[in-house]
Amino acid sequence: MSEKKCPSCNVMVEAKSKFCPECGTAMSQQIKQKAKPTKNTSTRDTLILVAVLVIATAGYFVINQPEAPPQPPQQQVMDGSHQDVEGMTSALSNMPTDYNTLVQLGNQTMDQGNFPMAAEAYKRALNIKEDSPNVRTDYGACLHGMGLPQRAIEEFMTVTQKYPKHTIANFNLGIVYYSVNQLDSAKTYFDRFLSFETTGQTADAARNYLAEIKKK
């Protein structure tokens, strides 16, 4: 069985896992779909993803550029932001346009921890094939990894509304609700996950979370 190490707690996790079952850190791939949404999140997601891409790549530019003669700090930030926007625009404009390649790009960049780029790839894939529960769950996992728990919950809920027995979407809902301390909701979804899947690493993790919830 192929495994990889969780970047947060260093536990060895199945290579196909998108969340670490031990600590809940988003790692790679999970499950998604798209039912007809009750509200349009496309514009909001675009603004979120572009903003995070700018921040992430601007930070990379400032940290990784070679030493140069000292400049006023404000000028360094302005120069970095300008080059970053150009790089981001280029990356987005050069994204593939077919569904399978977008999904592959999303999987690859998510495995690398580049959640904003992975989210954009998954979102574009969903625009092509909206009824894709695995991709939608991966999209939700990216949003969670970007620190957007409510948007992650919306995506996972979209999956479970149409696919109530979708195990990873239910498990992920437990993870996100646990992370925002909504423990009753977390318990509901961990219990629901265990009603579908009783053995394996992820089932053990769900039981551990339930044990922690019971202590609180």
Contact 185, 204 (CB under 8 A): no
How far is it, in rounded angstroms, from Cα 109 to Cα 119? 9
Which one has a higher pLDDT value, 59 or 170?
A: 170
The answer to whether residue 53 is domain-embedded is no
20 within some domain: no
Instruction: Enumerate helices (H) and strands (E) in the chain, giving the number of each.
Output: 9, 2
* C-alpha closest to that of 126 among 49, 50, 15, 36: 36
Neighbouring-strand partners of residue 99: none
Looking at the domain assignment, is residue 3 inside a domain? no
- What number is the average pLDDT over the span 116-130? 94
Backbone angles phi, psi at 38, to 5 degrees: -80, -20
Residue of 206 and 16 predicted with greater confidence: 206
| CATH value at residue 160 | 1.25.40.10
pLDDT by residue (tens digit) across 85-104?
Answer: 555 566 777 899 999 999 99
More confident residue, 55 or 215: 215
171 belongs to a structural domain:
yes
139 vs 110: CA distance, rounded Å: 10
pLDDT of the residue at 20: 72
Residue 58 maps to a domain = no
Max CA separation in the chain (angstroms): 62
Long-range pairs, 205-210, Cβ under 8 A, ≥24: 205/21, 205/22, 205/171, 206/21, 206/171, 206/174, 208/22, 209/174, 209/175, 209/178
Flag whether 120 is in a domain: yes
Q: Is residue 70 part of a domain?
A: no
**What is the domain range of residue 167?**
30-35+95-215
Residue 72 in domain:
no
How many domains would you assign to the chain?
A: 1
The whole-chain average pLDDT of the chain stands at 77
